[in-house]
């Protein structure tokens, strides 16, 4: 029990020590405390994985009551089941590695204790999220990770772009949370509880029932799932709510690796999988998940084709891969979604941290047009980026090969229209993935050096601590798929997942996915290789070709380069109107109408009356006497009339 609770609270302890006492324990102290406690937490997670995951002993630790209002009873409780322990492995391992990496990456920064406190605090919230035993605690972790993401994106608070990106991330996420929160309220309305077990247990009985939501009579479970999915779309940067993620690259690179690749952005996928006992009874919601996931996979991959900022390319790749996870969940292949989440965590963190090493080497340059020709100067990083890219593109025997193939095969095996939609779009996105990954490698490492003399002299391999953590991640990127495939999606999957994931018998596509035709199994790899070859053709063999293509198809190029104009659209359609409306309501509504007719108007009238009254006070005695006489006469008249009548 205690060791399980410790997994969650050790990072919090680290955050408090580094955050509040950073001044006393110094930079080194803050680093050691947070890194040490996180490593401990990661080791304990391994034990938890063995005990809960392999041993099948699920545990719930009740801490204390949080909310208590009539039937609304919510406790702080930590739930350790199979799904949770898989997430624990991803979160604590990658977080620990990112912590160690950051010691080297952030060296010389004035805010070291603050940085490490935020990283550990983030990890705490992420762990609260994946160990939550009820929807409200999940929401606590959910908002907490969003908060830390806001802190870390805006870590360099002198930069206006970082501040803007931080606020954008928070607010776009809040739009998603708006849906999530309504989903939670709807769950309470329908089930009268927010505890996972009680809700999931009652879900079958609730299937098909309707309730009155806004102005319509809607299916309860479907509505709940759609609302929850809106929350997932915000956190996992799915199409429509994805615009914050590329901007989030303003944060330090270790943050991008931990939060915006491996953990926080996968929380949406986790939410959908955790709620599989609900989604299974909401087929329409599953269709929506599939369509949104597949569309995101292709659209964001297409944007990634032409970006020039090394981190943004990887960020769009993350959006795209999250799309894969969602459409896997959408066809009820939840275990495949988590499998891809698991492997993706390793290789995407590796790619980001590798990019961090490149940026470190290039004196903080992020524009790939100003790189090139550095492969020989930083060979280790070069090799590691190859490993990460091979895993991402799903080349045989690297981690992504197992998980991405599984996802695509499941989509195909679903046999439905949306399944096919996801499969074919996923295939094209796989080609895009190969292309942008090697475009990144070729532009960054190959060709002639496009950086200035001063930068090139400085190009050097990162400090050993950074290299070692990257090598460890590379081990994960190579072996995690091979190691976990049997356990998570193989023969023993049903036994492994136990009751943490529910798949109705009719929807079990994993079994069918193992039986798909050979061309389906082979096509992702083949298509990925085609993408790689095209990148090689355009950026190594004919380096002049991309410029020509962009010039010829200028419209299309600009459309992609400007990210399908999502930001511009939102700015024109939402942000500016909201501000204009605010100003109008303030100056017009509050100022002219309410105050004008209300207090100011009344005050004006009173003043005018007073002025007239002053005119009456002439100071001449006979005026007053006359007024008094007139008053007395009026009184007497009134008295006589009322008595007489």
Among 50, 54, 161, 189, binds another protein (CB under 8 A): 189
Q: Kindly state the DSSP code that residue 249 receives in the 8-state scheme.
A: G
Instruction: CB nearer to another protein: give 171 or 550.
Output: 171
Does the protein bind another protein through residue 506 (CB under 8 A)? no
* Shortest separation between residue 24's beta carbon and another protein, angstroms: 14
* Shortest separation between residue 296's beta carbon and another protein, angstroms: 22
List b or e across 319-329, with b for residues whose CB sees 16 or more CB atoms inside 10 angstroms: bbbbbbbbbbb
* Candidates 45-53, 364-372, 452-460, 592-600; binding stretch for another protein (CB under 8 A): 592-600
Does the protein bind another protein through residue 16 (CB under 8 A)? no
What would the two tokens of residue 634 be? Answer: 């009026």
Does the protein bind another protein through residue 65 (CB under 8 A)? yes
Q: How many Å separate Cα 595 from the centre of its chain? A: 44
Does the protein bind another protein through residue 66 (CB under 8 A)? yes
Residue 372 · residue 448 · CB < 8 Å:
yes
Does the protein bind another protein through residue 461 (CB under 8 A)? no
Residue with the two structure tokens 């920064």: 109
* Candidates 142-150, 236-244, 377-385, 453-461; binding stretch for another protein (CB under 8 A): 142-150
Among 81, 133, 177, 409, binds another protein (CB under 8 A): 177
Q: How far is CA 115 from CA 9, 17, 170, 348, 353, in A?
A: 18, 12, 18, 21, 16
Q: Name every residue whose Cβ is closer than 8 Å to that of residue 327 and which is 6 or more positions away in sequence.
A: 289, 290, 291, 293, 294, 297, 407, 411, 422, 426
* Candidates 60-68, 426-434, 436-444, 482-490; binding stretch for another protein (CB under 8 A): 60-68
Residue 106 · residue 254 · CB < 8 Å:
yes
Q: Kindly state the DSSP code that residue 517 receives in the 8-state scheme.
A: -
Does the protein bind another protein through residue 604 (CB under 8 A)? no
Does the protein bind another protein through residue 624 (CB under 8 A)? no
Instruction: CB nearer to another protein: give 108 or 645.
Output: 108
Residue 385 · residue 357 · CB < 8 Å:
no
Instruction: CB nearer to another protein: give 66 or 559.
Output: 66
What element of type H or E holds 80? strand 72-80
Among 54, 72, 526, 545, binds another protein (CB under 8 A): 72
SS (H, E, C) 435-471: HHHHHHHHHHHCCCCCCCHHHHHHCCCCCHHHHHHHH
Does the protein bind another protein through residue 217 (CB under 8 A)? no
Does the protein bind another protein through residue 160 (CB under 8 A)? yes
Comparing CA positions, the residue from 256, 216, 220, 219 lying closest to residue 237 is: 256
Q: Angle between the 464-489 and 82-105 helix axes, to the nearest 10 degrees?
A: 170
Does the protein bind another protein through residue 565 (CB under 8 A)? no
501 vs 336: CA distance, rounded Å: 11
Count of residues of this chain found to bind another protein when the rule CB under 8 A is applied: 56
Among 10, 106, 181, 232, binds another protein (CB under 8 A): 181
84 vs 91: CA distance, rounded Å: 10
* Candidates 101-109, 160-168, 270-278, 332-340; binding stretch for another protein (CB under 8 A): 160-168
Among 147, 377, 449, 549, binds another protein (CB under 8 A): 147
* Candidates 178-186, 284-292, 430-438, 515-523; binding stretch for another protein (CB under 8 A): 178-186
What element of type H or E holds 41? helix 2-48
Does the protein bind another protein through residue 212 (CB under 8 A)? yes
Among 581, 609, 632, 635, binds another protein (CB under 8 A): 581
Instruction: CB nearer to another protein: give 145 or 406.
Output: 145
Query: How big, in percent rounded to 5, are the helix, strand and coil portions of the chain?
Result: 80, 5, 15
Does the protein bind another protein through residue 629 (CB under 8 A)? no
Does the protein bind another protein through residue 611 (CB under 8 A)? no
Among 16, 46, 174, 465, binds another protein (CB under 8 A): 174
Does the protein bind another protein through residue 574 (CB under 8 A)? no
Residue 150: count other Cβ atoms within 10 Å of its Cβ. Answer: 21
* Shortest separation between residue 40's beta carbon and another protein, angstroms: 24
Does the protein bind another protein through residue 26 (CB under 8 A)? no
Does the protein bind another protein through residue 109 (CB under 8 A)? no
What would the two tokens of residue 58 be? Answer: 């699920």
616 CB-contact burial (10 Å; exposed 0-12 / middle 13-18 / buried 19+): exposed
DSSP 519-572: HHHHHHHHHHHHHHHHHHIIIII-TTHHHHHHHHTHHHHHHHHTGGGHHHHHII
Among 182, 226, 313, 411, binds another protein (CB under 8 A): 182
Instruction: CB nearer to another protein: give 18 or 411.
Output: 18
* Shortest separation between residue 71's beta carbon and another protein, angstroms: 8
Site string for another protein, 402-441 (x = CB under 8 A): ----------------------------------------
Residue 239 · residue 268 · CB < 8 Å:
no
Residue 273 · residue 337 · CB < 8 Å:
yes
DSSP 391-418: HHHT-TTSHHHHHHHHHHHHHHHT-SHH
Does the protein bind another protein through residue 582 (CB under 8 A)? yes
Residues, the chain: 645
Does the protein bind another protein through residue 69 (CB under 8 A)? yes
Site string for another protein, 357-396 (x = CB under 8 A): ----------------------------------------
Among 589, 629, 631, 639, binds another protein (CB under 8 A): 589
Does the protein bind another protein through residue 139 (CB under 8 A)? yes
344 vs 403: CA distance, rounded Å: 9
Among 457, 585, 609, 610, binds another protein (CB under 8 A): 585
Does the protein bind another protein through residue 573 (CB under 8 A)? no
What would the two tokens of residue 254 be? Answer: 């270790």
Does the protein bind another protein through residue 186 (CB under 8 A)? yes
Q: Name the residues that contact another protein, by CB under 8 A.
A: 64-70, 72, 76, 136, 139-140, 143-144, 147, 150, 154, 157-158, 160, 163, 166-167, 170-171, 174-175, 177-178, 181-182, 184-186, 188-189, 212-215, 578-579, 581-583, 585-586, 589-590, 594-595, 598-600, 602-603
């Amino acid at each position: 029990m205690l060791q399980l609770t410790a997994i969650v609270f050790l990072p919090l302890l680290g955050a408090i020590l580094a955050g509040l006492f950073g001044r006393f324990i110094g930079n080194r102290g803050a680093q050691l405390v947070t890194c040490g406690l996180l490593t401990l937490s990661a080791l304990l997670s391994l034990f938890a994985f063995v005990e809960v995951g392999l041993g099948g002993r699920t545990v719930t630790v009740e801490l204390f009551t949080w909310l208590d209002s009539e039937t609304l009873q919510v406790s702080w409780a930590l739930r350790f089941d199979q799904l949770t322990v898989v997430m624990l492995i991803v979160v604590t391992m990658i977080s620990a590695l990112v912590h160690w990496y950051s010691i080297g990456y952030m060296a010389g920064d004035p805010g070291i204790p603050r940085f490490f406190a935020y990283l550990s605090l983030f990890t705490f919230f992420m762990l609260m999220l994946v160990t939550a035993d009820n929807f409200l605690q999940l929401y606590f972790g959910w908002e907490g990770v969003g908060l830390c993401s806001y802190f870390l994106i805006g870590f360099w608070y002198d930069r206006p772009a970082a501040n803007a990106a931080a606020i954008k991330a928070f607010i776009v996420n809040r739009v998603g949370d708006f849906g999530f929160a309504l989903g939670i309220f709807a769950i309470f309305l329908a089930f009268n509880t927010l505890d996972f077990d009680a809700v999931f247990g009652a879900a079958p009985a609730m299937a098909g029932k309707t309730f009155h939501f806004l102005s319509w009579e809607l299916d309860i479970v479907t509505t709940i799932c759609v609302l929850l999915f809106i929350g997932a779309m915000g956190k996992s940067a799915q199409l429509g709510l994805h615009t914050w993620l590329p901007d989030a690259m303003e944060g330090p690179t270790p943050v991008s690796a931990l939060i915006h690749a491996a953990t926080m952005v996968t929380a949406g996928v986790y939410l959908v999988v955790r709620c599989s006992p609900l989604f299974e009874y909401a087929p329409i919601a599953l269709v929506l998940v599939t369509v949104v996931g597949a569309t995101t996979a292709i659209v964001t991959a297409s944007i990634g084709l032409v970006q020039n900022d090394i981190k943004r390319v990887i960020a769009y790749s993350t959006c795209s891969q999250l799309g894969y996870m969602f459409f896997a969940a959408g066809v009820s292949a939840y275990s495949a979604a988590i499998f891809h989440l698991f492997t993706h965590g390793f290789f995407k963190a590796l790619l980001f941290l590798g990019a961090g090493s490149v940026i470190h080497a290039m004196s903080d340059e992020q524009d790939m047009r100003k790189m090139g020709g550095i492969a020989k100067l930083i060979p280790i990083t070069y090799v590691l980026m190859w490993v990460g890219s091979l895993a991402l593109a799903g080349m045989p025997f690297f981690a992504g090969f197992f998980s991405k193939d599984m996802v695509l095969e499941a989509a195909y095996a679903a046999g439905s229209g949306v399944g096919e939609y996801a499969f074919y779009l996923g295939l094209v996105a796989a080609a895009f993935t190969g292309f942008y990954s090697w475009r990144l490698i070729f532009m960054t490492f190959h060709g002639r050096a496009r950086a200035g003399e001063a930068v090139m002299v400085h190009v050097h391999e990162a400090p050993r601590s950074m290299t070692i953590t990257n090598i460890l991640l590379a081990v994960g990127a190579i072996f995690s798929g091979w190691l976990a495939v049997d356990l998570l999606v193989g023969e023993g999957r049903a036994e492994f997942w136990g009751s943490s994931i529910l798949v109705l018998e009719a929807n079990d596509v994993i079994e069918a996915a193992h039986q798909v035709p050979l061309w389906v199994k082979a096509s992702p790899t083949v298509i990925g290789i085609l993408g790689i070859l095209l990148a090689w053709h355009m950026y190594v063999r004919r380096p002049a070709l991309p410029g020509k293509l962009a010039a010829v198809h200028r419209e299309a190029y600009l459309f992609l380069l400007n990210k399908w104009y999502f930001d511009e659209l939102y700015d024109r359609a939402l942000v500016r109107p909201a501000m204009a409306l605010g100003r109008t309501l303030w100056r017009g509504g509050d100022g002219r109408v309410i105050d004008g007719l209300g207090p100011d108007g009344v005050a004006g009238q009173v003043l005018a009356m007073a002025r007239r009254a002053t005119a009456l006070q002439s100071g001449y005695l006979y005026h007053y006497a006359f007024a008094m006489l007139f008053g007395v006469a009026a009184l007497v008249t009134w008295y006589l009339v009322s008595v007489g009548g």
